[in-house]
A = this chain, B = another copy of it.
């Protein structure tokens, strides 16, 4: 698992996703055309499908492309653990193994999320001090983006997991939002002290001890999320997944409501035609493909989940994000901060044993 700056490679599970390999190959082609940081891209999947597609895309003779054969595909609706056991030669598994063996610095898949999490955790293992990985995703606001972490990997997070999410999210925001000191907030039901559930309030106490490491600004509530109050929103995977899916659903409804109402009469249709540039800009701003890659952070290697419905633009974007994460050595930076956080939290608990939770705070593995 080298992070040498000289040579970087990435593995793409070319068979996953709803739109199939043709979009993955299209996305790779665009990434190569736009100065990707990767010197080599592995297209992992069925050779007899990928070779003709790569030929059509003019990539077959590109020295940067390697077609890596894998005979099986994990379906979107298969049960993760069972599928991983039965399909040893699945494209997703092979892509992750390329990271494990050090051939690649990152893997991207738009396949089955559960299987990707299970396979990633199994093959790469979590970083020291991390028990479960977390999904980080960028959500657009009117003027900016914020990072939501965890968007669904770990629905039963403990206080320590939330602290790790804060650290991982901080580093991810630093890289992808281009801001030196991203403000980190812990999602709760109010900003005052004491507002929240037990796990959140325990994590809040811990985070106050590492305020300087992650620019922790305190509790943040839902009403502030789209108001540029913080750059990173920390929560467990249960809340994060519900929040992300609800927001996508609400935006979809709002767009449909606009279409319905603007189509209801001739004057409305005419007005909408004249001002159509506004709607194009809004559609572009809230376009999922522009932020279609969500990394699984906390593992010993970079894995990105792209939307199941990813088209070539989303794939190109995911490759770009994977490159940024690899170039900026996110993992190494986060690892140091996680160790420091655990040292401080343990020290605080030793000094004030009554406030400690039932569980030890530093556990290297699940």
* A-to-B contact residues, CB < 8 Å: 141-142, 152, 155-156, 187-189, 196-198, 200, 221-227, 235, 237-239, 241-254, 256-258, 260-262, 264-265, 267-279, 281-282, 285
Contact = CB atoms under 8 A, between A and B. Distances in A.
B278 A142 contact: no
A152 B189 contact: yes
Nearest to A247: B250
Nearest to A278: B261
B245 A221 contact: yes
Give this chain's copy count: 2
Contacts of A269: 275
Nearest to A285: B257
Given A222-B247, A261-B281, 7 more contacts: A156-B198, A221-B241, A222-B249, A223-B246, A246-B247, A257-B285, A268-B275
A366 to B, nearest CB: 16
A189 B237 contact: yes
A141 B250 CA distance: 8
5 contacts: A155-B196, A189-B238, A222-B241, A224-B249, A225-B250
Contacts of A241: 189, 221-222
> Most chain-B CB neighbours within 10 Å: which of A246, A247, A269?
A246
Contacts of A244: 222
A222 B262 CA distance: 27
Given A189-B152, A238-B189, A277 B256 contact: no
